Structure 1
Amino acid sequence: MGKKRILAGGIAQESHSFNPVPTDRSRFNIRAGMEAVRTARGSNSLLGGIVDAAAERDVEVIVPTMFRAQSGGPVEEAVFTEMRDILCDAARRGDFDAIVLPLHGGMLTPGLHDPEGALMAALRAIVGPALPMTAAFDLHAHVTPEILERCDLLAGYHTNPHGDQGSTGRRAFLAAMDMLDGRLRPVLSAVHLPMLTLGNDRTDEDPLRALHARARAAVEAGAAYDVSIFNAQQFLDVPGLGQWVLAYGNGAGPDALALELAQKLWDERHALIGSYPSLESCLDRAARGTDRPLILGDQGDRVAGGSPGDGTYVLRALMARGDLPPSAVPIADAAAVQACLAAGLGATVTLSVGGRHSTVAPPAAVTGQIVALGSSAQVTYDGPADAGYTAALGAYAVLRTGAVHVVLTDQPYSYLDPDYFRAMGVDPAALGIVITRSGYHYTLNYAPIGECITVDTPGMTSYRVQDLPFTVARPFFPLDDFAFLPRLHQRGSGTP
């Protein structure tokens, strides 16, 4: 019997329905073949978990292509089509035993509200219903019935902030192997809940901590093969927005477990609405002096949540005060970067920056010295989240105005890891205040260098969802209050 081979790859991006800036091909890190396998090996990423688990089993991983981008506006149709066609061409060539897809879930294109489901449908049409196909998704994925119909097992992160990307990829891979070896006949019990979690949704804190502990205990006891609780991305105006509980059994669906977890999740819906401290209160703390840098997550303009990353609300607050320690704040503004490149390192310039897409504050006039400059940079995540993952950055400039370092980039970045700043010549550990374009995902990787606090700022990724023009996704809690009884979407019938 020959060596087993699996087909992996795809596209990973999280979209925001109300971000007007499309995500084009230049926003993606694209790798394929042995380069994709080599760079994933040993990293705490979905593909890394698949690659490492496959190596332990002497299974070959074929990666026709892997597109990965920061969160943002919907992905241009041509980008999705290119990726889909590459993967489908590889599927037509055959010579593999299973498909394991390291995706994100929650991507949009102008014409598709469920591109991941469309990709799986295209692959199923080629390989047929018998070939095992599993997938690994972010906990904040938008799960759809179309995905569940075509995917034999969908594994989601168990942690938020996310620290288990590699082990999630491993779960999806092992499920495919168990199917191939005849040890697993996955049967799904699934429940959908029309609700959002908004702020109090860390899995290391209750109520989600208790829910995940119950799910983990069920798997350890053999009552389920795999369980995922998906807390959907909150800024998707799509049909069926909400939470999913997926409980997979072997030969029979764990219906009671899925319903129990879903009912508890619905019962805790009010407790999952959180609150954050104000920006001014955190700046006051920094002014009084702190033992460690304050690493502040800009809740309202989170690139990690799909915003454009050019908001000036925080920048204006930093520049308005003269009592603050040295700080760094990122702004995505391609025109400002080009102006700095034209002026050159060391020059003093006056620029209007940001505020073109994130409109809660206008563009900011900044006069400062260009202290760092480049046409590209390379980031390697410290981890633990995505540890070892590498990404290429585009052009950048750092403009120092007073105590504020304005980190200008030609694309928006989430700054999930300290190496984003270091790659552009800024040491976040040496500052008093560091602003990230993330709400809480950054906290794992910045914890060694500072105190991480998410601040309540306005913008299109604020949890003030009542300010967003939802139409298609409604009704859902908390915008709508209604009676709801969780019920099984797909019964555990004992059939494969």
Structure 2
Amino acid sequence: MAKRRILAGGIAQESHSFNPVRTGRSWFTIRAGAEAVETARGSNSVLGGIVDAAAENDIEVIVPVMFRAQSGGPVEDTVFAEMRDRMCDAARRGDFDAIVLPLHGGMLTPSLEDPEGALMMALRHIVGPEMPLTAGFDLHAHVTPEILAHCNLLAGYLTNPHGDQGNTGRRAFLAALDMLEGRLQPALAAVHLPMLTLGNDRTDEDPLLSLHARARAAVEAGVACDVSIFNAQQFLDVHGLGQWVLAYGNGTAPNDLALELAQTLWARRRELIGSYPALDEYLDRAAHGMERPLILGDQGDRVAGGSPGDGTYVLRALLARDSLPPSAIPIADVRAVQACQAAGQGATVTLTVGGRYSTVSPPVTVTGEVVSVGNSAQVVYDGPADAGYRTTLGDYAVLRVGKVHLILTDQPYSYLDPGYFRAMGVDPARMGIVITRSGYHFTLNYAAIGECVTVDTPGMTSYRVAELPFTKARPFFPLDEMDFTPRLHVVGGVSP
């Protein structure tokens, strides 16, 4: 019997509808073939989980191409088209038994609200209705009816902050394998809720903690074979924005379970609106001395949420306080990087940085010493989130302004892992304050270094969504009060 093979690959990026900066090809880490497989092997990523589970089952993984980028503005249409065409060309060549896609699920292009659904539809058109097609998504994905119509089983992360990327890929792979071997006939019960979670949506805290515990118990009891609760990315102005509960049974859809979970989620929707402490509160603490570094998530300018990463609100606060310990703060500003590189290491320069796209705080003029410059630095994630993932930085410079280490890059990064700072010669463990462009995902990977806190700051990714010009996505809670009763979604035109 010939060795089984699966087709994997695609594109993973989370988009922000209101970020004017398009995500271009140069912002992606692009791998294909054996390099993509070997780089993923053993990593806590969705593709890593697929690769490792396939190896355990003596199945070969084919990766025509894998595009992966930081969150940001919508992805250029040409980038998506290149990926889609490479995946579809491989699908036409055949010689594989199933498709397992490691995607994000929250991506946009200027012309597509649902590029992941478009990819699945294109692949399904080529391979036909019988071939197993599964996928692993971030739990912040924008799930659509088109995705559900073409995907046999969609597995979402079960943790936020995310620590189970690899296991999500494993779930998607094992579902495809079980379908191939006749052990599984996925039957979906799906419920959509027109609501957002805003600030109180960690899965290790209630209300989501108990909701996920109920879903897990149902899977362990055999009521369902897989359950995902999707809490959509909050900055997508797309039709049908909201939460999804997906519960898969084997042959019979677990309708009662999906409705129960969705009804609980809707009933507790107000508990999902949270708040964060003020920046000044934690800067006051740092000024009086702390045993461990203070790792702050800049809520208003979260590249992890799709912001441009050039906000100056926190930078201004750091520069205004002489009593603070040494700090590190990133700013995405290509012109500032170029100026530092032109001046060279050791030079003293005066620059105006940031505030070009994140306009809640104006640009800042600073004078400092160029500590280092470089490009193509290699980042390896410590983890546990995405442990072992490798990526390459673009051009960068480190400018020391008093006790502030200003990390300048030619494109935005989320700094989800300490490896970003270390790659540019800055050890976050030796700083008193470290600023990340993340809301809470950074907390897993920095926990061993310091105290991790998300602070309330203004900006494009703050949870003050009433300040954003939503048009397509409304109505949704909490911007709109509505009389709504959760109902089972009709999948593929057939009522569950």
Tell me, yes or no, if the aligned pair for 1:255 and 1:491 is still in contact at 8 Å. no
Per the normalisation by structure 1, the TM-score is 0.99
When structure 1 is superposed on structure 2, of 464-473 and 369-378 the one drifting more is: 369-378
Partner of 2:199: 199
1:283-362 alignment runs, 5 A limit? 283-362=283-362
* CA-to-aligned-CA distance 1:138-171 (integer Å, 9 cap, x gap): 0100000000000000000000000000000000
Partners in 1 of 2:494 and 2:242 — Cα distance?
Answer: 27
Q: Counterpart of 1:489 in 2: which secondary structure?
A: coil
Matched-pair contact (CA < 8 Å) for 2:137–2:155: yes
- Cα offset, 1:29, TM superposition: 0.1
5+ residue gaps, structure 1, are none
Matched residues in 2 for 1:109 and 1:147: separation?
Answer: 16
Q: CA deviation at 1:360?
A: 0.4
Change (3 A) 1:6 1:495: farther
Runs of 4+ in 1 over 6 A off after TM superposition: 491-496
**Whole-angstrom CA distance in 2 between matches of 1:290 and 1:478:** 38
Please state whether the residue corresponding to 1:42 is helix, strand or coil. coil
1:63-462 equivalences under 5 Å are 63-462=63-462
Q: Following TM superposition, by how much is the alpha carbon of 1:495 offset from its aligned partner in structure 2, in angstroms?
A: 10
Note if contact 1:158-1:229 (Cα within 8 Å) is conserved in structure 2. Answer: yes
Letter aligned with residue 19 of structure 1: N
Inter-partner Cα distance in structure 1 for 2:334 and 2:22? 15
* Unmatched tracts of structure 2, length 5 or more: none
What's the offset of the Cα at 1:492?
11
What secondary structure does 2:272 align onto?
Answer: coil
The root-mean-square deviation of aligned C-alpha atoms, in Å, is 1.2
Q: Deviations over 1:367-415 (max 9, x none)?
A: 0001111022110000000000000000100000111000000010000
Could you tell me how far apart the structure 2 residues matched to 1:138 and 1:237 are? 18
Identity of aligned residues (%): 80
TM-score by length of 2: 0.99
| Aligned residues of 1:253 and 1:492 also touching (Cα < 8 A) | no
Q: Judge conservation of contact 2:148–2:492 (CA < 8 Å) in 1.
A: no
Task: Classify the secondary structure of the residue corresponding to 1:376.
Answer: coil
Separation (CA, whole Å) in 2 of partners of 1:361 and 1:291: 31
Are the counterparts in 1 of residues 329 and 404 from structure 2 also a CA contact under 8 Å?
A: yes
> Aligned partners of 1:317 and 1:329: how far apart in 2?
11
Q: What are the Cα deviations for residues 285-338 of structure 1, in whole angstroms up to 9, with x where unaligned?
A: 100111111100000000000000000000011001111000000000000000
CA contact (8 A) 1:188 1:492 kept: no
Conservation of the 8 A alpha-carbon contact between 1:74 and 1:109: yes
Aligned partners of 2:303 and 2:492: how far apart in 1?
Answer: 38
8 Å CA contact 1:187, 1:492 repeated in 2: no
2: distance between equivalents of 1:458 and 1:117? 33
The offset of 1:437, in angstroms, is 0.1
1:13 CA drift (Å): 0.3
Corresponding pairs, count: 496
- Asked whether the equivalents of residues 148 and 491 of structure 2 are also in contact (C-alpha less than 8 Å), the reply is no
Following the alignment from structure 1 to structure 2, what is the Cα–Cα distance between the partners of residues 494 and 131? 20
For residues 46 and 355 of structure 1, what CA distance do their matches in structure 2 show?
A: 34
Residues 22-33 of structure 1 aligned to structure 2 (within 5 Å): 22-33=22-33
Question: Secondary structure at the residue paired with 1:488?
Answer: coil
Partners of 1:253 and 1:494 within 8 A in 2: no
Alpha-carbon distance, 1:228 to partner: 0.1
Counterparts of 2:211 and 2:95 in 1: how far apart (Å)? 41
For 1:379, the aligned partner's letter is: V
Contact 1:91–1:127 (CA under 8 A) maintained in structure 2: yes
Question: Does the CA-based 8 Å contact 1:255-1:492 persist in structure 2?
Answer: no
Contact 2:140 2:233 in 1 (8 A): yes
CA distance in 2, matches of 1:22, 1:259: 38
SS of residue in 1 equivalent to 2:489: strand
How far residue 482 of structure 1 moved from its aligned partner, in angstroms, is 1.0
How has the CA–CA distance of structure 1 residues 491 and 111 changed in structure 2, closer, same or farther, with 3 Å as cutoff? closer
Per-residue CA shift, 1:182-201, capped at 9, x if unaligned? 00000000000000000000
Shift of the alpha carbon at 1:493?
11
Q: CA deviation at 1:355?
A: 0.4
